[in-house]
């Protein structure tokens, strides 16, 4: 009987493959955006390696800890796995409705990916499998771009300057190229057969891209190395220094090639492959230096003896292991969750609009490009300077007047005042004005959720619509609040409203379930909402750097 049950046990490999496929399907759009960055020479391009390397780590962990195939599948797995599934589903479905465009700007979707992967492991291998699989699952957090962006914002300029200084110093000794006067070593003049070409040492050439790639591969390599944590981290730091030093050599080699063989060979032949070759050489040199740190390689088939003799690795009775009967309800739950996640993840396409391939905002500030669509006339009225103490020293507040034009004017004429507030500090927008307790969230399309509310003064009733989103101004990310205000008895003709997707609509309905709706002029509210949607769509359609 026991041998028959053991024969029915589902091996570890198909279960692991099922978990991987579920994650890939559930996060297909998020993973696709990571892959699309590979075409661009940005520091975040190598983040596409994280999911692929995590898969290899999961396979290696299943071979190192072979006991995971014999662990008990119990009821507690449904509790732990269900909580992980619920957390990832709630974050991915309700998050865009709560944080609007900032959900995508912070790439919070990728922050939930390890949670869903952990849920798959728990359901298909048991709760105890989280221990042997902890490193591959935690490794998935490296795909989250926000920490890299925050770090690069502070160190990229200094790093580029340091690289340029090193190139300048070595070039002064070797005499390969002539520095351009006043460039601080960031531009060089190279001459070949009487033709001159200017070469710039930009941020893309500073070595940050290679360092990010080495950091990802190096972090994974730590799992295959035996030795103390301090020695392994020291080895990784030395590897990073090697990457930077070889990158300086790569820049000098490009300059030398341009001088000896010409611009075509240097930039069309050598430059595209030099970065990858440099990274691989640095990694091979780092591996050769393992004995220097008293470290040694650890193969995937090496058993973890410290764990095998503990209750953690104890095999369950055959009937309590992963038999088809025990796996069936778990598979149904995992497939249903993956399908729901896939639907929510696909609707993030609207939230991704208005951002470039690197994840930075690509929409110009309204003050630089006041667009509201062809059906509206926009006129600037005044700049409000007294608000600077509230929104920051580098903030601005400009008021505009918008009126319907053409066929839209014949449906009902009314005036809208638009306030465009810009601040480099997002927190400044949270504490000053335009918020009431009865605000209703509304979907404005393109992944933007605004606040729509109606308030009465002593003499009139005002309808207001406000939203916030990141914009690009003078090459820097700033945060913009747009407030549309209208006070009119006119009841404009109804127009269809755009949507960011059914998942966002249901999340908004849930969040606003207890909000009172006492709007005396819903037609004006609808027109104001449609104006906001037109304004957003027009600006995204004309996105570009200002």
pLDDT tens for each residue of 283-323: 999 999 999 999 998 877 666 555 555 676 677 788 888 89
- Model confidence at 358, pLDDT cuts 50, 70, 90, reads confident
Torsion, CA 226, CA 229, CA 235, CA 240, rounded to 10 = 130
Higher pLDDT, 224 or 191: 224
Residue ranges of domains in the chain: 12-142+306-352, 148-297, 366-542
Place of tokens 């869903």: 116
pLDDT the model gives residue 438: 56
pLDDT the model gives residue 2: 47
Helices (H), 392-521: 407-410, 502-511
Q: Supply the pTM of this predicted model.
A: 0.84
Given a cut of 60, is residue 4 above it in pLDDT? Answer: no
Given a cut of 90, is residue 114 above it in pLDDT? Answer: yes
Q: Tokens standing for 416? A: 């809208």
3-state helix, strand, coil in the chain (%, to 5): 55, 15, 30
Neighbours of 535 (CB within 10 A): 25
Q: Which of 133, 121, 148, 119 is nearest to 37 (CA)?
A: 148
Beta bridge mates, 190: 197
Per-residue model confidence as pLDDT tens digits over 72-87: 999 999 999 999 999 9
pLDDT the model gives residue 259: 85
Q: Tokens standing for 95? A: 């998050």
Task: Compute the distance between CA of residue 77 and CA of residue 321 in angstroms, rounded to an integer.
Answer: 13
Helices (H), 356-500: 388-391, 407-410
pLDDT the model gives residue 437: 39
pLDDT the model gives residue 157: 80
| 8 A C-beta contact, residue 497 and residue 480 | no
Q: State the sign of the Cα–Cα–Cα–Cα dihedral 124, 128, 132, 134.
A: positive
Per-residue model confidence as pLDDT tens digits over 458-497: 677 778 888 898 998 887 888 888 888 888 777 777 777 8
| 8 A C-beta contact, residue 63 and residue 231 | no
Q: Tokens standing for 310? A: 């503990």
What value does the mean pLDDT of the chain take?
A: 84
Q: What is the mean pLDDT of residues 157-166?
A: 84
3-state secondary structure of 309: coil
Given a cut of 50, is residue 14 above it in pLDDT? Answer: yes
pLDDT the model gives residue 391: 66
Higher pLDDT, 508 or 490: 508
Higher pLDDT, 483 or 186: 483
Q: Tokens standing for 472? A: 């690009």
pLDDT the model gives residue 546: 42
Q: Which of 51, 244, 276 is nearest to 142 (CA)?
A: 51
Q: Which of 202, 477, 482, 479 is nearest to 359 (CA)?
A: 477
pLDDT the model gives residue 238: 94
| 8 A C-beta contact, residue 258 and residue 194 | no
pLDDT the model gives residue 304: 58
Task: Compute the distance between CA of residue 489 and CA of residue 300 in angstroms, rounded to an integer.
Answer: 74
Per-residue model confidence as pLDDT tens digits over 378-418: 888 888 776 676 666 777 888 888 888 766 666 666 788 88
Task: Compute the distance between CA of residue 506 and CA of residue 509 in angstroms, rounded to an integer.
Answer: 5
Given a cut of 80, is residue 123 above it in pLDDT? Answer: yes
Q: Tokens standing for 419? A: 């306030």
Higher pLDDT, 491 or 16: 16
Beta bridge mates, 402: 378, 416
Q: Is 11 left (phi over 0), alpha (psi -120 to 50) or beta?
A: beta
């Amino acid at each position: 009987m026991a041998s028959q049950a053991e024969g029915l046990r589902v091996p570890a490999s198909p279960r692991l493959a099922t978990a991987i496929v579920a994650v890939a399907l559930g996060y297909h759009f998020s993973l696709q955006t990571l892959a699309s960055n590979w075409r661009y020479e940005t520091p975040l391009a190598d983040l596409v390696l994280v999911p692929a390397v995590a898969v290899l780590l999961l396979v290696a962990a299943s071979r190192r800890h072979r006991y995971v195939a014999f662990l008990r599948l119990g009821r507690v797995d449904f509790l732990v796995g269900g909580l992980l599934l619920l957390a990832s589903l709630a974050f991915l479905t309700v998050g865009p409705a709560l944080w609007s465009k900032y959900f995508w700007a912070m790439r919070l979707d990728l922050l939930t990916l390890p949670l869903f992967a952990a849920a798959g492991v728990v359901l298909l291998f048991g709760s105890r499998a989280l221990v042997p699989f902890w490193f591959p699952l935690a490794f998935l957090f490296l795909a989250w771009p926000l920490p890299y962006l925050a770090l690069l914002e502070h160190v990229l300029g200094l790093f580029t300057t340091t690289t340029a200084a090193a190139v300048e110093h070595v070039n002064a000794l070797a005499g390969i190229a002539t520095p351009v006067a006043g460039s601080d070593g960031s531009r060089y003049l190279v001459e070949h057969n009487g033709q001159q070409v200017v070469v710039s040492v930009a941020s893309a050439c500073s070595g940050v891209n290679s360092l990010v790639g080495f950091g990802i591969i190096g972090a994974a390599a730590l799992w295959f190395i035996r030795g103390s944590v301090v020695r392994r981290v020291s080895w990784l730091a030395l590897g990073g220094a090697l990457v930077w030093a070889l990158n300086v050599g790569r820049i000098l080699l490009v300059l030398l090639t341009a001088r000896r063989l010409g611009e075509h060979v240097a930039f069309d032949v050598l430059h595209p492959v030099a970065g990858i070759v440099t990274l691989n050489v640095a990694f091979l040199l780092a591996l050769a230096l393992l004995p220097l740190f008293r470290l040694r390689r650890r193969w995937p088939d090496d058993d973890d003896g410290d764990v095998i003799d503990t209750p953690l690795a104890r095999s369950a009775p055959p009937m309590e292991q992963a038999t088809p009967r025990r796996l069936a309800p778990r598979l149904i739950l995992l497939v249903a969750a993956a399908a729901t996640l896939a639907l929510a993840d696909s609707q993030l396409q609207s939230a991704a609009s208005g951002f470039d391939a690197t994840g930075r905002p690509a929409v110009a500030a309204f003050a630089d490009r006041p667009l509201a669509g062809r059906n509206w006339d926009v006129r600037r009225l005044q700049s409000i300077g007294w608000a600077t103490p509230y929104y920051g020293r580098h903030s601005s507040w400009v008021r505009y007047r918008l009126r319907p034009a053409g066929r839209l004017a014949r449906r009902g004429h009314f005036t809208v005042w638009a306030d465009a507030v810009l601040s480099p500090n997002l927190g400044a927008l949270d504490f000053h004005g335009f918020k009431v307790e009865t605000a209703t969230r509304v979907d404005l399309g393109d992944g933007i959720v605004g606040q729509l509310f109606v308030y009465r003064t002593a003499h009139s009733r005002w309808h207001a619509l406000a939203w916030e989103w990141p914009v690009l101004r003078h090459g820097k990310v700033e945060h913009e609040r747009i407030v549309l205000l209208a006070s009119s008895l006119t009841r404009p003709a109804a127009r269809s409203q755009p949507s960011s997707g059914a998942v966002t609509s249901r999340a908004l309905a849930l969040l606003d379930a207890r909000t009172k709706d006492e709007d005396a002029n819903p037609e004006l509210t609808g027109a104001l909402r449609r104006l906001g949607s037109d304004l957003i769509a027009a600006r995204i359609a004309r996105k570009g750097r200002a």
